[in-house]
C-alpha cells in the first residue's frame, strides 16, 4: 500500500509520503512517491501518488516528458496558467494511462491510482487537490484542510485532533510524523524512508525537503517520545465514575 | 458498521461495543451488540458482534433459545466445559445461520458476521476469542492482548501504543474510550451509546456494566480532555532539526 498526506496551513503547504510498494507481503520495494516540478520564482508543483505502481510511474513519466519537450506535445505542466488547470492536466493523463492499460472487458480497478497535487503558480493562491483514478478531483478547504491517499485510516485520528491552521512548519512535521508512525506501526505495507517537503506561501521555491531513513534519529525521537507523551496524557484523564 | 473491542489484562477482561447499525447512511438504528450469559459463581460469557444484523441476531437468538431450554437441543452455552468448547459452539451456530441464509449460487459475504467471545468458566482461565464468519477462531495472547471487530483501523494505534497488561480497569476504560472516540470522529457508521463491561478474573460474576449515552458527562470529559492532552503531548516533542 502507501500513505501520503498533503496538508494546507496558513504558512503554506506540507507534503509527506512513504516509499514502500508491494505486490504481496513477500515482494516489497522502495520507490519515491513524491515528484516535484519547480520553476524558481514562478511555480512549485508537488505530486504524491498511491496505487498501481505501473500506473503512477506512467503518469509521472508522461507529465515529465511533456514538460521537458513542450514543443512536442501541449500542454506542459510548466505552462498551465492555474493550479486548477494543472489538476485537470494531471487528471487527463491519469485517464489516458488507465484507459491505455485496461484490456477490453476488464475493469479499471486493478490499474487504479490516486494522486495529491499541491503547489502555487505566481499570481494565484496555493491550492491542494486530490485526484481520483477517474481523473476528476476535489480541493482542500478550511473544513477539510488535509488530504490523504492510500492507507488513510490509522493516521487520521491524530490529524483530526491536532490540526490547526496556525501550526508552524516544525509543528506540522511533528504532526505528520506521528500520523505516519501510527500507520507504520499498524500496516506493514507502509514503510520508511519518509519523504517530506514544505512549501512556504508566495515563495515560489521548495522550502525544505528531506528524506527520513529507517534509522533517522529524529524519527526515532518522535516515535519514542510520542509513546511516552501519550502515557502521560492518559494519566491526566479522569477515571470512570462509579 | 460497528466497532467492538475485547481486551485482556492481568486483572481480567474488558469489553466495549458501539450500538449503531446502518443500511446506508440514510438508514441508521441503535442495537446493542453485547450479549452476556452469567451463572453467578460458575461462568460469565460475553459475546460482541459485528456484521450483518440479521445474522448476528439469529446467532444470538439461537444460542439464547438453546440455553433456555437445554433439554430441547444440546449443547447449551451454559453447559460447555471450557471456553474453547464455547467458542466452537458459537462458531458452529454462525456457520449454521450463514449457511441457512445463503441462497444457492450466492456467496456468503453479504451475510457475514464476526464475533468476539470472552469469559471464564470455573476451573479454567479467562480466555478471549475472535470468531470468523467461517466459524473458525483465533485466541488472544500476550503478543496480541486485544481483539477488534468492525471498523478497527482508526482506534488501533492508541491501543498499540498505550496497552499494558498491568492496566487497572479504570485505566483500561480510559484507553477504550479514547480508541472509540477516535473511531467515532472518523466513521459516521460507528455511534454512541457505548456499552462497557468488565470482568474480574476468578470472580465468576459481571464486575461492572454501563451504557454511555451520547450526552454522557464522562465521555465528553474524555473526548475534550484527550484533545487538550494531545496538544500538550505535541508541544513536548522536539522540533525537526535543520
pLDDT at B169 over 90: yes
Rounded Cα–Cα distance for residues B151 and A153 (Å): 10
- How is chain A split among helix, strand and coil, in percent rounded to 5? 35, 30, 35
**Tens of pLDDT, residues A54-65:** 899 999 999 988
What would the grid cell of residue B161 be? 501504543
Look at residue A64 and tell me if it is in a domain. Answer: yes
Predicted TM-score (pTM) of the model is 0.87
Size of interface A-B (CB pairs under 8 A): 124
Q: In this predicted structure, what is the pLDDT of residue B125? A: 96
Q: In this predicted structure, what is the pLDDT of residue A111? A: 82
Q: Are B225 and B178 in contact (CB under 8 A)?
A: no
Q: Are B47 and B17 in contact (CB under 8 A)?
A: no
Rounded Cα–Cα distance for residues B239 and A170 (Å): 6
Rounded Cα–Cα distance for residues A109 and B22 (Å): 26
Residue B228 CB neighbour total at 10 angstroms: 13
Q: Please name the residue ranges forming H helices in A83-132.
A: 83-101
Rounded Cα–Cα distance for residues B15 and B140 (Å): 13
Phi, psi of A191 (to 5 degrees): -145, 155
**A-chain residues near B154 (CB < 8 A):** 153-154, 156-157
- The interface predicted TM-score of the complex, written ipTM, equals 0.80
Look at residue A242 and tell me if it is in a domain. Answer: no
User: How far off is chain A from B198, nearest CA to CA, in Å?
Assistant: 12
Residue closest to A190 by CA, chosen among A20, A4, A5, A15: A20
The pLDDT-based confidence of B105 (bands split at 50, 70, 90) is low
Q: In this predicted structure, what is the pLDDT of residue B70? A: 57
**Tens of pLDDT, residues B4-27:** 999 999 999 999 999 998 877 788
What would the grid cell of residue A72 be? 512536442
Q: In this predicted structure, what is the pLDDT of residue B200? A: 97
Residue closest to A115 by CA, chosen among A126, A129, A105: A129
Rounded Cα–Cα distance for residues B204 and B190 (Å): 31
* Residues in A lying within 8 Å of B, measured between beta carbons: 153-158, 160-162, 170-171, 173-175, 177-178, 182-183, 185-186, 196, 208, 210, 218, 221-222, 225-227, 229-234, 236-242
Cell numbers 500542454 correspond to A75
Q: Are A233 and B230 in contact (CB under 8 A)?
A: yes
Look at residue B130 and tell me if it is in a domain. Answer: yes
- Are the Cβ atoms of A157 and B157 closer than 8 angstroms? yes
What would the grid cell of residue A217 be? 534519529
Look at residue A203 and tell me if it is in a domain. Answer: yes
User: How far off is chain B from A109, nearest CA to CA, in Å?
Assistant: 20
Query: What's A70's DSSP letter?
Result: T
Rounded Cα–Cα distance for residues A97 and A79 (Å): 21
Look at residue B240 and tell me if it is in a domain. Answer: no
Look at residue B199 and tell me if it is in a domain. Answer: yes
Based on its alpha-carbon atoms, the radius of gyration of chain B, rounded to whole angstroms, reads: 19
Least confident of A104-118, A154-168, B170-184, B218-232: A104-118
- Are the Cβ atoms of B186 and A153 closer than 8 angstroms? yes
Can you say whether the dihedral through the CA atoms of A185, A188, A192, A196 is positive or negative?
negative
- The residue segments making up the domain with residue A40 are 3-235
Helix-helix angle A217-235:A169-186, to 10 degrees: 80
Q: Tell me how many domains chain A contains.
A: 1
- Are the Cβ atoms of A225 and B240 closer than 8 angstroms? no
Look at residue A184 and tell me if it is in a domain. Answer: yes
Q: Are B97 and B49 in contact (CB under 8 A)?
A: no
Rounded Cα–Cα distance for residues A110 and A97 (Å): 13
Q: Which residues of chain A have pLDDT under 70?
A: 69-74, 103-109, 242
User: How far off is chain A from B3, nearest CA to CA, in Å?
Assistant: 14
Look at residue B242 and tell me if it is in a domain. Answer: no
Q: Domain holding B128: CATH number? A: 3.60.20.10
Amino acid at each position: 500500500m502507501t500513505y501520503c498526506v498533503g496538508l494546507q496551513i496558513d504558512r503554506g503547504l506540507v507534503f509527506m509520503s512513504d516509499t514502500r510498494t508491494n505486490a504481496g507481503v513477500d515482494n516489497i520495494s522502495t520507490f519515491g512517491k513524491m515528484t516535484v516540478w519547480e520553476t524558481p520564482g514562478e511555480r512549485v508543483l508537488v505530486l504524491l501518488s498511491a496505487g498501481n505502481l505501473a500506473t503512477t510511474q506512467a503518469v509521472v513519466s508522461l507529465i515529465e516528458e511533456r514538460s521537458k519537450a513542450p514543443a512536442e506535445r501541449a500542454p506542459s505542466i510548466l505552462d498551465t496558467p492555474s493550479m486548477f488547470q494543472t489538476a485537470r492536466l494531471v487528471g487527463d493523463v491519469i485517464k489516458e494511462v488507465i484507459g491505455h492499460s485496461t484490456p477490453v472487458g476488464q475493469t479499471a480497478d486493478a490499474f487504479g491510482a490516486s494522486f495529491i497535487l499541491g503547489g502555487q503558480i505566481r499570481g494565484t493562491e496555493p491550492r491542494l487537490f486530490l485526484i481520483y483514478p477517474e481523473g476528476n478531483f476535489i480541493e482542500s478547504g478550511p473544513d477539510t484542510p488535509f488530504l490523504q491517499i492510500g492507507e488513510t485510516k490509522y493516521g487520521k485520528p491524530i490529524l483530526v485532533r491536532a490540526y490547526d491552521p496556525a501550526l508552524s512548519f516544525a509543528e506540522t512535521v511533528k504532526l505528520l510524523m506521528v500520523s505516519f508512525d501510527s500507520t507504520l506501526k499498524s500496516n506493514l505495507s507502509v514503510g520508511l524512508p519518509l519523504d517530506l517537503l514544505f512549501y512556504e506561501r508566495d515563495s515560489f521555491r521548495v522550502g525544505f525537503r528531506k528524506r527520513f531513513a529507517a534509522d533517522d534519529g529524529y524519527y526515532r525521537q518522535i516515535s519514542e517520545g510520542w509513546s511516552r507523551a501519550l502515557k502521560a496524557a492518559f494519566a491526566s484523564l479522569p477515571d470512570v465514575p462509579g
